[in-house]
């Protein structure tokens, strides 16, 4: 058997991308109770309603702290905050990021979550596009832009699945031919 290590490496990157997208989507779902806890009694959100008030900044900071605690508790997640900090104490770098996020016009919970994950953890916005669509086209564009000279085969109409990617990698590893094309779905 002959393997092209670059192809194996790209398959594992695609698998990791999909795994992280599932983890991020599940994290969003786990943060819904935190978001609901920060709503006013009438169900409105100061985070959405206000522009830049002390109350909004404090609520954004509470949300950020809960998000960082939750993300830090996920075992096996290979995502690290852009600036390390003790969640209980905080530091000025993360506080600046949180203040910057609080100064934005925030539309809803998902918008706040995406801002946090992008600015604190460096999650690329293309991952959120993938989470919404599960589209092979989104993953293919990401792979082509990130890894130069890569050859991909995919059906734009079909969604990407983790099982499918792992199956394609297994097929590649058991193949007798030296293949240099990565099949996404």
Q: What is the pLDDT of residue 24?
A: 94
How is 48-77 classified by DSSP, letter by letter?
A: HH-SS-HHHHHHHHHHHHHHHHHHHH-TT-
Q: Specify burial of residue 139 (Cβ count, 10 A radius: 0-12, 13-18, 19+).
A: buried
Using alpha carbons, select from 70, 89, 92, 74 the residue that is nearest to residue 20. 74
Rounded Cα–Cα distance for residues 137 and 59 (Å): 37
Using alpha carbons, select from 61, 26, 25, 59 the residue that is nearest to residue 44. 59
Kindly report, residue by residue over 29-84, the tens digit of the pLDDT: 999 999 999 999 999 999 999 988 999 999 999 999 899 889 888 877 766 666 55
The pTM for the full model equals 0.85
Query: Mean pLDDT across the chain, nearest whole number?
Result: 85
Residue 20 has pLDDT above 70, yes or no: yes
Rounded Cα–Cα distance for residues 114 and 61 (Å): 15
């Amino acid at each position: 058997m002959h393997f092209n290590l670059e192809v194996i490496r790209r398959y594992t990157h695609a698998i990791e991308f999909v795994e992280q997208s599932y983890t991020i989507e599940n994290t969003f779902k786990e943060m819904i109770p935190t978001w609901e806890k920060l709503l006013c009694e009438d169900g409105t959100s100061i985070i959405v309603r206000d522009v830049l008030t002390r109350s909004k900044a404090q609520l954004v900071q509470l949300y950020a702290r809960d998000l960082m605690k939750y993300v830090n508790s996920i075992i096996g997640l290979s995502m690290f905050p852009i600036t390390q900090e003790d969640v209980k104490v905080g530091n000025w770098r993360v506080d600046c990021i949180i203040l910057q996020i609080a100064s934005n016009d925030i539309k809803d919970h998902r918008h706040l979550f995406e801002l946090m994950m992008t600015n604190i953890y460096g999650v690329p916005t293309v991952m959120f596009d993938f989470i919404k669509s599960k589209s092979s086209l989104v993953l293919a564009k990401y792979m082509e832009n990130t890894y130069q000279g890569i050859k991909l085969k995919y059906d734009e109409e079909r969604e990407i699945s983790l099982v499918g990617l792992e199956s394609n990698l297994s097929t590649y590893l058991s193949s007798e031919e030296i293949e240099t094309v990565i099949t996404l779905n």
